[in-house]
Amino acid sequence: MKNTNGNMYQKSTSKAFQIDNTSDLIKIGLLLLLGFFAVVLRERVNVPLKLPGHHGFEFMLLFMAGKMLSRQRFAMSISSLGASASAFLPIFHFGNAFMPFTFLLPGFIGDLIINKTGKNSYLYIAVAGGLAYSSIPLVRQGIMMATGIPFGSLVSGLLYPFALHFIFGALGSLAGAAVFGRFKK
């Protein structure tokens, strides 16, 4: 059918399930699986460092990789939700009931810091990742003070675990941004 100037009318059909929404759901699912994979690595790869926070490297590497590779504004938070949900599975034996809550915070804090300022330098990403992962000993200290449940790494103080969580989180974020940031372009 033609309009008055001889051109065809633009076809306007609506779809109930658009392709863009489907790809967003797939991306969110992959980010959730990334969080699950971070917990699997934490639980199944036994690195005998005996240092508090040494799993921050792989956690923040995967979370930052998800942030760099996806266009989701809250990619780290979505990965944290996947990690937290997987901590409820009986195949993992964490020994404390607060582990799912502590897995939530690094992603939320990392997204909050990075999204709020919008800076993308490697140094800034490393500091943001270090601060995000060092939230874990802060939360554990609060839980320990409120409930009296001791956490082994915090018995002798907060400074040492906080510093190591910061260092491993910063190194992991830096590695994730450096390696996977190149694929973003």
Query: 1-50 pLDDT, tens per residue?
Result: 556 666 665 655 555 544 456 788 899 999 999 999 999 888 888 778 88
Query: 125-149 pLDDT, tens per residue?
Result: 999 999 999 999 999 899 889 988 8
Length of the chain: 185
Closest CA to 115 of 55, 156, 158, 74: 74
Contacts of 4 (CB under 8 A, 6+ apart): none
Going by the DSSP 8-state scheme, the letter that residue 154 receives in this structure is G
Query: Residues 22-27: contacts with CB within 8 Å, 24+ apart?
Result: 24/72, 27/70, 27/71, 27/72
What does the pLDDT read at residue 17? Answer: 45
Residue-range domain boundaries for the chain: 20-184
Query: 52-64 pLDDT, tens per residue?
Result: 989 999 999 999 9
pTM: 0.82
